[in-house]
Structure 1
Amino acid sequence: MSLQEVSDRLEIQDLLARYSFAIDERDWDALDRVFTSDATIDYSETGGAKGDFAQIKAWLPQALARFPMYQHMVATTRLDLAGDTATSRTILFNPMVYRDEKPGDDRPGDEKPGDQVFFIGLWYRDCFVRTADGWRIADRYEEMAYSHNVPAMSPPPEIAAAPAAA
């Protein structure tokens, strides 16, 4: 492996970790340093939305509000580099806590009666591009693998329509 390939692989692994931390810390603006501005993101196979980066960035805080806790744990990545582009398939294990909010459910503490822990296993299928600011995700697709103990819940909010071109 050349030093460039080693560097590219490490930078892309760091990018995957930065995505996980941005989501888990609800730092939505950090996603600006993970995705290209024209990225497409498709979470539809796992029950989420599909749209461009701006739409998904606006949608995520609303869609994830009912989950007080979650962790995105990325693992094994198969990465294929091709100069200034790359593709990958990465394992994700995603434990989540669902909170079914009821009126008057204002008890103190992080965990409340009725919270339900569940698990989702999936793969991220990503296309990356090298930019002047480093590697970025240009296209992300979540591919479902399995789920366990998923509670009955209402569907996530609809994605906002893209603004009309002027």
Structure 2
Amino acid sequence: MSEDFELDTDDLKRRMDGAMSNLRTEFASLRTGRASGSMLEPVQVEAYGQMTPINQVGTVNVPEPRMVTINVWDKGLVGKVEKAIRESGLGINPQLNGTIIMLPIPELNEERRRELTKVAGHYAEHARVAIRNVRRDGMDQVKKAKADGMAEDDQKFWESEVQDITDLYIKKVDEALEHKQEEIMQV
């Protein structure tokens, strides 16, 4: 009989916090009409045989409120950086000027705002999936302990604990999404 089973709820919370942190980073990349260097953070470029963040292949600057520039250090990567930006779903059309890529930030129209709220929804769904994966890991630990002789009441208690933590984090994701969508739709 395994009476000393103790699920590491702090580990589950830490991993769910990681999903929330990732969501906040992705939300920061969604522009709300102003240029920001952080909007390029989730964009990865294939450089030197691996996926690399843009800020590790060039200097990202915001010279004016509606312009972001990237000074790519390696001429051979300019095309790859441009392609990564085009395929990122940011809706920005890069303009090349030698090794400098200019990203003019267009005024957000109603249609583009709606598109960005959908992108935010996709980011939130990815966070929910990550949180549910952590939940599944926690439930698997409880099931393993049950197989090792844990009492049924203990199993129900720990499953309830895991579900409560999951519900809390899913609620946080939903609130963050709602806040971001309001921010995007604000004219």
Pick the structure with more strand per residue. Answer: 1
Does the pair score TM above 0.5?
no
* TM-score normalised by structure 2 residue count: 0.28
TM-score, normalised relative to structure 1: 0.30
Q: Larger Cα Rg: Structure 1 or Structure 2?
A: 2
